[in-house]
Amino acid sequence: MEFIETIKPFTLIAYYIFVSFVVLLIILDNKKPEKAFAYIFLILLVPVAGLVIYLLFGAQYQKKKLFTKKRYFDKVYLNKINEEQKEDADVRIDDTDAKLPTLFYNIEQVSFTLNNEITLLNNGEEKFPAFIKELQKAKESIHLDYYIIRESDIARQVIDILCKKSEEGLKVRVIYDDVGSSLTRSTLARMRNSGVASYPYMPVVFSRLAHKANYRNHRKIAVIDNEVGFVGGININDKYINPSKSGLYWRDTHIMIKGEAVIDLQYLFISDWYFVSGQKIELEEVRYRNLSKIQSKVPTSILGSDYGKNNQTIKEAFFRMITAAQEEVLITTPYFVPDESIMNALKITAKSGVKVSLILPEKPDSKTAFYASQTYFKDLLNSGVEINYYTRGMMHSKMMIIDGAVSTVGSTNMDQRSFNLNAEVNAFMLSEKIARDLKSTFMNDLEYSYPLTVEILRRRKWYVKVICSIARLLAPIL
């Protein structure tokens, strides 16, 4: 006991020296001030535990080196594909009759392809039948890139098809996020033995405990035969299919794409595949197929973003969509923890007389983000933004509709994790018909929602307000 008492002061001194060193590293890392403060606050508020959380999820270690290598591959290899395969296919927005001709101009050389057919899929009960049907029709290749592939009835059905197709000679490749997904060793072994090539995205130790680890691949991408693509918010798990075993109604949005934009999804997959496996997919695998079958012409752009302040293309697109609106902005998102630029865009747009309406879940699956989001509501409401709580179940849909002409569906949440840390993907469409169909689903969701008011916020218990304020301080790292 005397020995323990003797080393206590030295242990504390060593701890404080180490903490001081870590705090200095956080400052020197040139993080955004609000993010740096959030990590420092966490370390000081929760000694030891806060430090462990930062070392596990905040420290970048080799992340910059890894993503720098990925950026180089994207710039050199994928740009080569783009030049060779799409030279005559791209249609600049100002060549269309869209209402917002310069909306995405100069965002990472964004271009729209014209020959696209878009099918809206609401919830898992609409997505999975279409998804399974297209998988079964595959003749050459299947590429899946998902945040969540979890052991479930639907996952087993999908994996059965993947194994069968691989055994028939198709090229089947699967990327699954190591934190979001949960596949047993026997399942992975079966896939491997059937010839299905699969890799986890940035493996971590104790993945089941690291549910909020940074730098995750939050994308939901499927590319089949370079002809059909799927993108949106629906992962591969039974809970997305209503009625679910848990009894929770799950509201989500996905789209199926046929046409040139599928190749843009393929580009993102090729980039992620090289990142996780170090293998290049040969150029001859990336070819347009049967465009003569595409009857409709929906100008569509696929945007991907991932870690780094210079790769926030989706956030930039969101900002431009909101600030360019002249009539209305309709948004559904499960997590609302915006940064200052998006927050100001929403407020200023609403103050300009544009209708801005949000639908958020009343009972989300992330309590911390839920409490943090409430600290933004008063300013938004006072600026004229409408906020509605969805009561039917979990609102997981991630979509935005602008002026009944421009819309987006994808994996990106309206939060700082999606904007700054995770790999995300969204489809942006310039079509009054698609916007009209999405608005119809929005209005239907509104029927299961109630408007939030400043009075409701005021009536919250005092301790709830305290929890919300604390959560707000951690918002940059949620």
Residue 465: burial class (beta carbons within 10 Å; 0-12, 13-18, 19+): middle
Helix, strand, coil % (nearest 5) of the chain?
Answer: 45, 20, 30
Helices (H), 147-260: 153-167, 185-193
Nearest CA-CA partner of 156 in 195, 184, 177:
184
Determine which one of 225, 306, 415, 445 is catalytic. Answer: 225
- Range list of β-strands (E), 416-455: 424-430, 449-451
Q: Is 178 a known active-site residue? A: no
Q: How many CA atoms lie within 13 A of 2 on its CB side?
A: 0
How many Å apart are CA 413 and CA 405, to the nearest integer? Answer: 21
Determine which one of 272, 403, 415, 445 is catalytic. Answer: 403
Determine which one of 31, 35, 127, 398 is catalytic. Answer: 398
Nearest CA-CA partner of 214 in 53, 342, 47:
53
Q: Is 220 a known active-site residue? A: yes
Q: Is 211 a known active-site residue? A: no
Q: Is 398 a known active-site residue? A: yes
Residue type at position 52: V
Determine which one of 143, 220, 254, 258 is catalytic. Answer: 220
Structure tokens at 350: 């609403």
Structure tokens at 127: 């997505």
The neighbouring-strand residues paired with 220 are 146
Query: Can you count the helices (H) and strands (E) in the chain?
Result: 16, 21
Q: Is 254 a known active-site residue? A: no
**Integer angstrom CA distances of residue 429 from 37, 54, 166, 218, 398:** 38, 38, 33, 21, 14
At residue 316, the 3 state secondary structure works out as helix
- Range list of β-strands (E), 83-218: 90-91, 112-113, 116-122, 141-146, 171-177, 197-201
At residue 59, the 3 state secondary structure works out as coil
How many Å apart are CA 128 and CA 277, to the nearest integer? Answer: 28
How many Å apart are CA 319 and CA 343, to the nearest integer? Answer: 9
Determine which one of 31, 165, 218, 315 is catalytic. Answer: 218
Number of CB atoms found within 10 A of residue 190's CB: 16
Determine which one of 127, 254, 396, 445 is catalytic. Answer: 396
- Element of type H or E holding 359: strand 355-361
Number of CB atoms found within 10 A of residue 343's CB: 18
How big is the chain, counted in residues? 478
How many Å apart are CA 267 and CA 81, to the nearest integer? Answer: 8
Structure tokens at 63: 């992340």
Residue type at position 113: T
Q: Is 218 a known active-site residue? A: yes
Q: Which residues are catalytic?
A: 218, 220, 225, 396, 398, 403
